[in-house]
């Protein structure tokens, strides 16, 4: 029995903005149901890697495979349609829409009303806080709630793969760690694989199944979270980052 | 022919000077300070009304007493009456007033025009510190329309829709050729205004103005008071606009509120955008082009240049000017948003010195 | 009935008509503003062009059949307005928006578009000998009922009031209940995110302009149905329209009420000022302008906000 292809695989992915190369020759993979953390110092290109995968940044070389098929050239909205979704680091909600409408817009491509209702229920069960704010304008939510909504919005298409770009950036440490814990529930409840870029490297690697360390646009180390955390040569990196 | 052409050129120089002063003032507020004073025409109008009313009132007062006349006017200023026109014409004929007197009155009225313009600017700074961007632009534009509508319909200060006309030319009283003298004086005034505005925008105050435009909070951190800087910019800019208004009245001898519709502001906006926002030389260039459009795209001007237009085209021409101004605004925004002469990077002695040092290395 | 009361009633009826038109016009302005954030000064010209297109319909359709003429007038007007509005976005506003232009630049651009449209029409009217410097739709309104012969409700009232109320309800439901309307708001709120959630942002924008243009020119048609129209009619009304929109906080029901209030205030206050103080009606526009300035100074987010959905502008 041949094993199923990974949900996401990049082959020598080079990406950046315009002609500027930010990440180069990156090979990573995310397996079915896996949570994979992408860590590294500031400016190492973690976010750009995520954007290149999703198609928001320019792919300058290499390939992106989603469940075995080549999606390198697919525009972002097409990727959303086939089961990938992405939560940008900033401006990741519609502030002038209510919480409920944000989620509805997340499922814009889903035509089946009952599927949308089910997905919304799932989101509310993962983030119970949001349920009470359904008719509140998203822009008036607290920072932590806005992040929950951003992740919830991305879950509305029932993706197989979720790309999270620093979902805790700018949050108070306590709230950030709570949110990270909640994200593990996302995998359980929504049955989704997650590739997460995270500043709180230590915590992220503890929670993740595997991790990649990105330095200056290249993969410097990979392995399961605990072994990466144990590596002497990477301690400086983890100390340099909060968490 | 030659005489007609030179007449048009003189007319062009006068309008160029007036538009250049308005453009420099709009550019200081909007280009350097980021304050969208879309009510520019209001302050030009204030200057024009003030100059016209004051100059007419004083000359008429002196004129009537010396001619032994008395004017009875009900519900309107004496200078709106037919008798006033007669007195004015007598003054232009000469002998009633000395050149010194008329010069003094003119200068006094100009100073008053600048002062009233500046006061208007201070009033306008009330919305300008409370609103930003589009809402501020609309507010100032509406304020301009309010004043214009009232002035246009009320006999005070400039004789309602008839307008105040026949204000004696000080140059005629002095025995000089009116248009040429106005051109000389206007260009001299423009030169002075240009030097003043350039120095102001290049001074520490000008840098503060830019700082407030680019990042208000950062500017506050550096100890600037954005509200006060906006007020100063509007007061100075509106004073200059008032001066331009006074020049227009000196030139034409008339003042009518109908000339101060928002379209005039749009002409100035077109000039500044075309020339280059936050570049004083650009404002001059833009004003030169817009004034050219206004003066030369005219049936009488074209005829003087030997171009005869069919009557219907002649009828359409005054409107086509504004179509062209609108097109200019659109095309500049689309294809050259920085204008012909873009904003120059900051120049200070320290930066220059550093550049030289680094360049030498 | 005393002369004053009689006059007030006539002014009130007239205010209803004018106010409905202000409201109707302001709805389209609001739609554009809500979706694209452009304070569109060229909007006035869509109204004028709509009126002219409606009149042009009467050159094509046999003027004897007034029902057919009315339908043709509406069709001509709305299609002309929709096309001109869409064209102004495709040619000017969209390219600027893509480049990330500020709201103020978009405002200046709309002034440019307005100048081009208005003065081209004036120029064209002058070129053709001035015959079209003022036009009027050939079918005129009928009095429905009248108090003493002068204060009347006419078919123009019915048309203006019904269409204003209808369009306000439709727009409100569109924005709060439908997928398209929510997509419009999402596009306005966060275009990048709207794009990646699969909303066709460009299509949404096009639909918005078509709708707003059609709405504007429908108002233009209604205007030409009761009043002669000249190339500057829209422009002269623009500050009233902005007053209504800003007073209503750019909410559809708020704009409707504000338009009505402004129209009634203009006529009733104008009448009383004339009757008791001898102030002429030429000062009436001052009412709208002073309202506009006062609202912006005191409550820039609007006086009559009829929707909880609009977040206060972060000025």
Which letter does DSSP use for residue A92 in this model? -
Percent of chain C with pLDDT over 90: 76
Question: Is the CB of B323 less than 8 angstroms away from the CB of C119?
Answer: yes
Could you report the predicted ipTM of this complex, rounded to two decimals? 0.92
**Residues A144, A148, A149, A152: what is their CA dihedral angle, to the nearest 10 degrees?**
180
**CA C21 distance to own-chain centroid:** 7
Contacts of C179 in chain A (CB under 8 A): 104, 108
Instruction: Look at residue C312 in the predicted model and tell me its pLDDT.
Output: 37
| C60: CB partners within 8 A, 6+ apart | C72, C76
Instruction: Indicate contact of C with B: 3+ CB pairs under 8 A.
Output: yes
Distance from CA of C28 to the nearest CA of A (A): 20
Residue B293: inside a domain: no
Residue B270: inside a domain: no
The DSSP result for B164-217, as a single string, is: B--PPPHHHHTT--HHHHHHHHHHHHHHHHHHHHHHHHHSHHHHHHHHHHH-HH
- Residue of A56, A96, A109 lying closest to C189 (CB–CB): A96
Residue B229: inside a domain: yes
Instruction: Look at residue B53 in the predicted model and tell me its pLDDT.
Output: 97
| C238: CB partners within 8 A, 6+ apart | C41, C43, C44
Backbone φ/ψ region at A91: left (φ over 0), alpha (ψ -120 to 50), beta: left
Question: Is the CB of C193 less than 8 angstroms away from the CB of A94?
Answer: yes
Q: Which of B239, B105, B79 is nearest to B169 (CA)?
A: B105
Residue B5 tokens, joined: 């052409």
Contact B321, B297 (CB under 8 A): yes
Residue B258 in contact with partner chain C when CB distance is under 8 A = no
Burial class (CB in 10 A: 0-12, 13-18, 19+), B297: middle
Question: Is the CB of A95 less than 8 angstroms away from the CB of C197?
Answer: no
CA-nearest residue to C129 within chain B is B312
- Chains meeting A at 3+ CB pairs closer than 8 A? C
Residue B346: inside a domain: no
Q: How far apart are CA B330 and CA C98, in angstroms?
A: 15
Instruction: Look at residue B360 in the predicted model and tell me its pLDDT.
Output: 53
Contacts of C189 in chain A (CB under 8 A): 94-97
When scoring C189, C310, C312 by the number of chain A Cβ atoms within 10 A, the one with the most, hence best to mutate, is C189
Spans of chain B below 50 pLDDT: 361
Contacts of B313 in chain C (CB under 8 A): 127
Residue B198 tokens, joined: 């350039």
Q: How far apart are CA B39 and CA B241, in angstroms?
A: 11
Per-residue pLDDT of chain A (243 residues; tens, 9 = 90+): 446 789 999 999 999 998 899 999 999 999 999 999 999 888 889 999 999 999 999 999 999 999 999 999 999 999 999 999 999 999 999 999 999 999 999 999 998 999 999 999 999 999 999 999 999 999 999 999 999 999 999 999 999 999 999 998 888 888 888 888 888 788 888 889 999 998 888 888 888 999 999 999 999 999 998 888 888 787 776 655 444
When scoring C127, C238, C246 by the number of chain B Cβ atoms within 10 A, the one with the most, hence best to mutate, is C127
| B203: CB partners within 8 A, 6+ apart | none
Residue B126: inside a domain: yes
CA-nearest residue to C191 within chain A is A94
Please provide residue A199's backbone torsions phi and psi, each rounded to the nearest 5 degrees. Answer: -80, -40
Question: pLDDT tens across C269-279, in order?
Answer: 999 999 998 88
Distance from CA of A138 to the nearest CA of C (A): 10
All structural domains of chain C: 3-309 (1.10.3470)
Burial class (CB in 10 A: 0-12, 13-18, 19+), A226: exposed
β-partners of residue B159 are: none
Question: Is residue A193 within a helix (H) or strand (E), and if so which, with residue range?
Answer: strand A193-197
Question: Is residue A163 within a helix (H) or strand (E), and if so which, with residue range?
Answer: strand A161-165
Strand A84-87 and strand A161-165: the pairing is parallel
Helix ranges (DSSP H) in chain A: 46-54, 76-82, 99-106, 113-126, 128-131, 143-155, 173-190, 201-207, 225-230, 235-240
Residue C143 in contact with partner chain A when CB distance is under 8 A = no
Contact B77, B156 (CB under 8 A): yes
Q: Which of B6, B21, B12 is nearest to B192 (CA)?
A: B21
Contact B340, B282 (CB under 8 A): yes
Residue B139: inside a domain: yes
Q: Decide if pLDDT at C309 tops 60.
A: no
Instruction: Look at residue C222 in the predicted model and tell me its pLDDT.
Output: 95
Q: How many domains does chain B have?
A: 1
Residue B50: inside a domain: yes
Distances (CA, A) of A207 to A196, A229, A232, B254: 11, 11, 20, 82
Residue A215 tokens, joined: 């330095």
More confident residue, C299 or C122: C122
Contacts of A106 in chain C (CB under 8 A): 197
Q: How many CB pairs under 8 A join A and C?
A: 67
Domain of B231, in residue numbers: 2-261
- Three-state secondary-structure class, residue A21: strand
Distances (CA, A) of A240 to A168, A200, A235, B195, B333: 17, 10, 8, 55, 47
Contact A200, A176 (CB under 8 A): yes
Residue B330: inside a domain: no
| C209: CB partners within 8 A, 6+ apart | C32, C82, C85, C86, C88, C89
Instruction: Look at residue A238 in the predicted model and tell me its pLDDT.
Output: 66
Instruction: Look at residue C311 in the predicted model and tell me its pLDDT.
Output: 43
Instruction: Look at residue C221 in the predicted model and tell me its pLDDT.
Output: 96
Instruction: Look at residue A243 in the predicted model and tell me its pLDDT.
Output: 42
């Amino acid at each position: 029995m041949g094993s199923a292809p990974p949900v996401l695989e990049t082959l020598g992915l080079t990406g950046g903005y315009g002609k500027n190369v930010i990440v180069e020759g990156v090979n990573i993979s995310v397996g079915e149901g896996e949570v994979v953390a992408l860590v590294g110092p500031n400016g190492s290109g973690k976010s750009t890697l995520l954007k290149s995968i999703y198609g928001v940044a320019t792919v300058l070389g290499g390939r992106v495979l989603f469940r075995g098929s080549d999606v390198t050239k697919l525009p972002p909205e097409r990727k959303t349609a086939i089961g990938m979704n992405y939560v940008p680091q900033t401006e990741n909600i519609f502030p002038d829409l209510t919480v409920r409408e944000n989620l509805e817009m997340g499922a814009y491509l889903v035509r089946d009303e009952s599927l949308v209702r089910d997905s919304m229920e799932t989101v509310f069960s993962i983030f119970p806080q949001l349920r009470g704010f359904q008719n509140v304008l998203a822009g008036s939510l607290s920072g932590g709630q806005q992040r929950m909504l951003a992740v919830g919005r991305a879950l509305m298409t029932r993706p197989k793969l979720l790309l999270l770009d620093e979902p805790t950036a700018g949050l108070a440490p306590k709230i950030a760690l709570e949110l990270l814990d909640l994200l593990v529930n996302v995998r359980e409840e929504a049955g989704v694989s997650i590739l997460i870029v995270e500043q709180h490297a230590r915590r992220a690697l503890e929670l993740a199944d595997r991790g990649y360390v990105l330095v200056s646009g290249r993969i410097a180390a990979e392995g399961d979270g605990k072994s990466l955390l144990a590596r002497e040569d990477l301690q400086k990196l983890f100390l340099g980052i909060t968490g | 022919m030659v005489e007609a052409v030179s007449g048009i050129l003189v007319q062009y120089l006068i309008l160029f000077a007036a538009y250049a002063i308005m453009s420099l003032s709009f550019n200081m507020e909007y280009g350097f300070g980021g304050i969208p004073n879309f009510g520019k025409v209001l302050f030009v109008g204030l200057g024009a009304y003030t100059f016209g009313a004051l100059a007419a009132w004083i000359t008429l007062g002196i004129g009537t007493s010396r001619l032994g006349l008395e004017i009875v006017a009900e519900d309107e200023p004496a200078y709106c009456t037919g008798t006033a026109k007669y007195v004015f014409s007598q003054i232009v004929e000469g002998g009633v007033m000395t050149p010194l007197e008329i010069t003094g009155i003119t200068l006094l009225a100009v100073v008053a025009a600048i002062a009233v313009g500046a006061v208007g600017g201070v009033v306008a700074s009330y919305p300008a510190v409370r609103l930003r961007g589009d809402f501020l632009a609309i507010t100032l534009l509406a304020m301009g329309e309010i004043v214009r509508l009232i002035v246009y319909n009320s006999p005070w200060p400039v004789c309602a829709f008839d307008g105040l006309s026949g204000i004696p030319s000080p140059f005629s009283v002095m025995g000089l050729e009116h248009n040429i003298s106005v051109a000389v004086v206007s260009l001299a005034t423009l030169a002075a205004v240009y030097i003043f505005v350039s120095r102001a925008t290049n001074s520490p105050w000008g840098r503060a103005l830019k700082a407030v435009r680019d990042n208000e909070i950062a500017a506050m951190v550096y100890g600037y008071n954005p509200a006060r800087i906006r007020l100063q910019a509007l007061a100075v800019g509106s004073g200059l606009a008032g001066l331009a208004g006074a020049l227009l009245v000196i030139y034409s001898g008339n003042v009518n509120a109908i000339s101060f519709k928002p379209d005039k502001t749009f002409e100035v906006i077109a000039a500044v955008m075309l020339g280059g926002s936050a570049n004083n030389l650009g404002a001059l260039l833009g004003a030169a082009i817009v004034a050219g459009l206004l003066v030369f795209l005219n049936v009488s001007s074209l005829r003087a240049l030997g171009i005869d237009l069919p009557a219907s085209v002649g009828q359409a021409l005054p409107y086509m000017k504004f179509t062209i101004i609108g097109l200019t605004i659109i095309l500049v925004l689309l294809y050259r948003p920085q204008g012909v002469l873009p904003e120059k990077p900051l120049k200070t002695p320290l930066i220059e010195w550093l550049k030289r040092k680094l360049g030498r290395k | 009935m005393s002369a004053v009361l009689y006059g007030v009633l006539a002014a009130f009826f007239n205010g209803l008509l004018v106010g409905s038109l202000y409201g109707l016009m302001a709805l389209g302005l609001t739609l554009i503003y809500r979706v694209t954030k452009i304070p569109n000064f060229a909007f006035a010209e869509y109204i004028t062009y709509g009126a002219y297109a409606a009149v042009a319909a009467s050159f094509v359709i046999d003027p004897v059949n007034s029902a057919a003429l009315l339908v043709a007038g509406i069709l001509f007007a709305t299609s002309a307005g929709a096309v001109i509005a869409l064209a102004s976005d495709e040619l000017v506003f969209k390219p600027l928006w893509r480049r990330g232009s500020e709201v103020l630049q978009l405002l200046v651009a709309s002034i440019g578009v307005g100048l081009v449209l208005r003065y081209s029409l004036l120029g064209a009217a002058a070129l053709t000998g001035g015959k079209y410097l003022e036009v009027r739709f050939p079918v005129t309104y009928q009095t429905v009922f009248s108090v003493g012969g002068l204060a009347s409700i006419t078919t123009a009232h019915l048309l203006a009031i019904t269409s204003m109320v209808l369009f306000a309800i439709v727009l409100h439901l569109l924005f709060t209940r439908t997928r398209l309307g929510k997509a419009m708001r999402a596009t306005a709120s966060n275009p990048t995110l709207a794009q990646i959630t699969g909303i066709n942002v460009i299509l949404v924008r096009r639909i918005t302009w078509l709708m707003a243009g059609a709405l504007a020119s429908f108002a233009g048609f209604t205007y030409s149905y009761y009043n002669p129209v000249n190339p500057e009619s829209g422009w002269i009304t623009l500050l009233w329209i902005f007053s209504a929109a800003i007073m209503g906080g750019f909410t559809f029901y708020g704009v409707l009420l504000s338009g009505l209030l402004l129209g009634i205030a203009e006529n009733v206050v104008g009448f009383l000022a004339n009757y008791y103080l001898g102030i002429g009606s030429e000062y009436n526009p001052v009412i709208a302008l002073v309202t506009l300035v006062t609202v912006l100074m005191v409550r820039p987010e609007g006086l009559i906000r009829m929707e909880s959905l609009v977040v206060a502008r972060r000025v």
